Structure 1
Amino acid sequence: MALVPSPPKDKYPPAAPDRFPFVEPPPVVITPCDPWPPPYYLEDGLRKVKPYHFTYNTFCKERWRGREILDIFASEFRDRPTEYYKKAILEGRVVLNGKQVPGLDTIVKNGDVISHTLHRHEPPVSSKAIGIVHEDDDLIVIDKPAGMPVHPAGRYNFNSIIELMRADRGYSWNPLPCNRLDRLTSGIMFIGKHKQAAEDMSAQIRGRTVKKEYITRVVGEFPEGEIVCEKPILQISPKLGLNRVRANGKEAKTVFKRLAYYPPKDDKSEYANENFEQTSSQESLAWQKLRGYSIVRCFPITGRTHQLRVHLQYLGHPISNDPIYANQRVFGPSLGRAHSEDENEEDIMTRLNRMGKEEVADAVAYHDEMVDQYNKRKAEKMTGETCEVCDTPLFSDPGAHELGIYLHARRYRCEEGKWDYETGLPDWALPPPGADADAPTEPTAESDPLAVDLQKLGLEDGDEKNATSSAEPVKKSA
């Protein structure tokens, strides 16, 4: 039988004479070039990336529908000033569905694709290598360095965990994170080598069958015993990464237990600093009464964004080098302790927005450690210079204290005993020089939140009727 060509057919035949059901997706813009290998270089203990051109393609988010395109860029993205986005739209570096945007007031609709081609300047990250805790055919358990985002986001692309691992193992390899840590947080993360492994581990973590333990360093003398905080958490500003304790927030529960307390070495105020307005008012010096620092173990029962950082701030013992939640210039002299109202929210966001632009992000740990003025001036902020290629405002290199905070995911353990991965204590959690010989250098069963009896504390999954709901966090004796 002879072979004959078949007549062409419609790729998507209409379901009815008057209706064509398939609509081609809007066109997207392709990055002008894809630098590979990534243009990394090491300098002054930092991993840097040479500037390069890059195109973002983003589908219209639900909250963007019906809004003007300039309004979306100006309110949702902190990377560039509004004037930059205005010029980029008018000059065609921002396009809608592959076409020039008619005007700054063009309305974005559901299904639209926004493409933005820019000369990308990535912030430096620590040159510290990604640690490997365990590896098998399915998973890699890593020790994530502080100050490095997991996924490409915002100003970061190649300087992310995903892209660093891809650069190390090959362009075609696709690492699949099973859990997420904040950019500033270090510690254990699970990377799936294939889709099924990533889905299985992610399901375990979502199902609360995995016990998590974090270690942190906080301002002042954290109380002894098991401290339970159950305050709900609400996202206040996704643009600024700000979350607060609010009655209308999502359920959040954490158990804390102190590992060690290190008082100041002498009677001299270790927090005095000329950058802060000094006053004799007792109220304005409230946070300065928090002498010394504590190493605290944290057991998050839920997994809200910034949960540990927000709960510790609410308890009056924020992470001591947290540039957001331990920032007196943002939250005032009490550092936001026990604050759950929204009357000054706009002021807080205005002050936080200035950090890293007109002002250096500050936290009480800089006083605690007596970091000198040279290092404080070295913190990342706008230099006043612009890029010769794209007129983007340039930032200085971040100081060492901006490359992470004192929060480390130390241990993840399967509740059924199938696996258990942990790291040692970070350097900042070890006893300082001159500490007592019996100061703890590793966690013990007596200070282990993973051994906390959740039923005793009224926090066992499904037993909501016993959960404490008082206005102040409850302290339970060990």
Structure 2
Amino acid sequence: MSGSGKRKRDDGEEAEMEAIVWQTPANPPEPRDYIFRSGRRYVRPYYFEFISHAKKRWAGKTIVDLFAEEFKGRSYDYYVSAVKCGRIRVDDKMVDTSYVVQSSQKISHFLHRHEPPVLAGDVLVLQNEADILTVYKPASVPVHPCGQYRKNTVVGILQAEHGLAPLYPVHRLDRLVSGLLIFAKSADKADFLRQQVEAGLLQKEYIAKVIGVFPEKEVVIDANICYNAREGRSFVEINDSCIDKAFKGKTACTKFTQINTNGKYSLVLCKPVTGRTHQIRVHLQCAGHPIANDMLYLSEDVPSRSANGVGADRAASRTCKPPMSNSHKDDSFAEDSASEEFSIDPMCTNCPNLPPKGYDEDEEGIWLHCVRYSGPAWSPPCGPPSYEVVHSLFRCLDSLGS
């Protein structure tokens, strides 16, 4: 695959730990990376190396405990094996499972990456100017790389299908929200437009379908919001105190106007005065009219998701039934390419038959699995695949895109 690189091992390491091919953020998404099937957009699994620097709160923890506590999507035993095999490294070197991490050290995690599918709607380019791009974002697609998503994002799709890069988001929309997005084509232009948004010169409006009959007169919710990043959920401050005492509320104000109602649901025009995380969603909940299909805020009692490594909005996505795509993509090609065999990574928690973390068992059928490849065998059972095996995988992928 074009743009792939070779990872070189340190001298003295086991002979089996040969160079392997992987992708980095420098590798742009390409059209061949995507498969379309039954109204969903899938990403072909690929090798990737996550790189970060140890935060202060990570210092003093063993490398295994750090990953097990901070990244709950995989088991403790997986992280033990990953450290022993050199898939998790510190400052580009293999370490023991008891190694104690120090602040600012480089931490890398090499893995076989599976991205969750999104709905297959096109990211429509509405206006393409010299320094500004305006597009329509379909629901379920994140704006930029985050969490489990890198290629299945608006930024990734625009780069793969339209060659538009680099792009700088002027504002964002929640993954489950559809609507207009403005991108700048330079950092300076992005800063200028963000300043206009903050000054109130550019205003955002949303339309929400809410439960119940919303009042006809304008409703203004002026209530501070606390955001718990670990849980991915916001709370309205009550009596100058957040539900979670560890978080301090930030000022937040939203104006709501009823558009129409059928007695059971109402369409509401939402005008945020400030821009807090999940502001409209939590303010509508506070008003007693939560968004109709917003499982995260329909109830006050939502179980902890971070403890099990499940995304905060996963419950909402489970209720979304994807429409059949009217995209220009050729579904017959999608079905054929989806049946091709991919190589199993023996350490991958999603190979060969596991859905990504946070999906129900009955949704397993929507997940693009790897299946056993008939090519060369893997090198050591707990180690990365050999150079030849990974090249065989990429030759397979290249043939699909030709």
Cα drift, residue 138 of structure 1? 0.8
Structure 1 pair 76/356, CA: closer, same or farther in 2 (3 Å)?
Answer: closer
**1:316 aligned onto 2:288:** yes
1:220/1:193 CA distance change after superposition, 3 Å: same
Q: 1:203 aligns with which of 166, 171, 195?
A: 195
Alpha-carbon RMSD across the aligned residues, in angstroms, is 3.2
Match of 1:250 in 2: 250
Shift of 1:365: 8.0
- Deviation, 1:208, is 2.8
**Comparing 191-200 and 46-55, the one that deviates more:** 191-200
Question: Does the CA-based 8 Å contact 1:138-1:193 persist in structure 2?
Answer: yes
Distance 1:142 1:100 in 2: 44
Query: Is the CA contact 2:140–2:317 (under 8 Å) kept in the aligned structure 1?
Result: no
Q: Do the aligned partners of 1:258 and 1:294 also contact (CA within 8 Å) in 2?
A: yes
SS of equivalent residue, structure 1 residue 316: coil
Q: Is the CA contact 2:125–2:133 (under 8 Å) kept in the aligned structure 1?
A: yes
Aligned partners of 1:320 and 1:363 also within 8 Å: no
Distance 1:226 1:36 in 2: 45
Give the letter for the 2:185 counterpart: K
Structure 1 pair 352–66 and aligned structure 2 pair: CA distance change class (3 A): closer
Partner residue, 1:32: 22
Aligned match of 1:421: none
Higher relative contact order (CA 8 A, sep 6+): 2
Q: Note if contact 1:355-1:361 (Cα within 8 Å) is conserved in structure 2.
A: no
- What letter matches 1:133 in structure 2? L
Letter in 2 for 1:64: W
In the alignment, which residue of structure 1 is the partner of 2:10?
A: none
Partner in structure 1 of residue 349 of structure 2: 392
The match for 1:133 is 126
Structure 2 partner of 1:48? 42
Is the alpha carbon distance of 1:228 and 1:83 closer, same or farther for their aligned partners in structure 2, counting shifts above 3 Å? farther
Cα shift at 1:117? 0.7
Deviation of residue 191 (structure 1)? Answer: 1.0
TM-superposed CA distance for 1:144, in Å, is: 0.9
2:278 alignment partner, one of 290, 306, 315: 306
Q: Is the 8 A contact 1:31 1:54 kept in 2?
A: no
Larger C-alpha radius of gyration, 1 or 2? 1
Per-residue CA distance 1:364-397 (angstroms, 9 max, x = gap): 988xxxxxxxxxxxxxxxxxxxx94234142278
Superposition TM-score, scaled by structure 1 size: 0.57
> What secondary structure sits across from 2:204 in the alignment?
strand
Equivalent of residue 82 in structure 2, options 76, 79, 88? 88
Residues 94-243 of structure 1 mapped to structure 2, 5 A cutoff:
94-104=88-98, 106-170=99-163, 173-236=165-228, 238-243=229-234
In structure 2, runs of 5+ residues without a counterpart are: 1-18, 242-247, 321-342, 367-402
Note the alpha carbon deviations across 1:81-104, whole angstroms, 9 max, x for none: 443333322322111111123325
CA distance in 2, matches of 1:116, 1:226: 51
| 1:293-442 alignment, distance < 5 Å | 293-326=265-298, 328=299, 331-332=300-301, 348-350=302-304, 361=315, 388-389=344-345, 390-393=347-350, 394-395=354-355
Q: Would you say how many aligned residue pairs link Structure 1 and Structure 2?
A: 302
The verdict on how the C-alpha distance between 1:119 and 1:363 changes in structure 2, with shifts beyond 3 A counting, is closer
Deviations 1:229-253 (A, max 9, x none): 11111122x2331111133311111
TM-score (norm 2): 0.67
Residue aligned with 1:48, SS: strand
Instruction: Provide the identity percentage.
Output: 36
TM-superposed CA distance for 1:35, in Å, is 7.7
Closer, same or farther in 2 for the Cα pair 1:148/1:363, shift >3 Å?
Answer: closer
Cα 1:73–1:218, aligned 2, differ >3 Å: closer, same or farther? farther
After superposition, give the CA deviation of every residue in 1:336-390 in whole Å (9 maximum; x if it has no partner).
xxxxxxxxxxxx4536756969xx8269988xxxxxxxxxxxxxxxxxxxx9423
Amino acid at match of 1:146: A
Q: Which residue of 2 aligns with 1:278?
A: none
Q: Alignment partner of 2:42: what SS? A: strand
**1:103-138 residue CA offsets vs partner (Å, 9 max, x unmatched):** 25x443332121111100011111111122322111
CA distance in 2, matches of 1:30, 1:230: 55
**How much does 1:220 deviate?**
1.5
Seen in structure 2, the aligned counterparts of structure 1 residues 306 and 36 have a Cα distance that, compared at 3 Å, is: closer
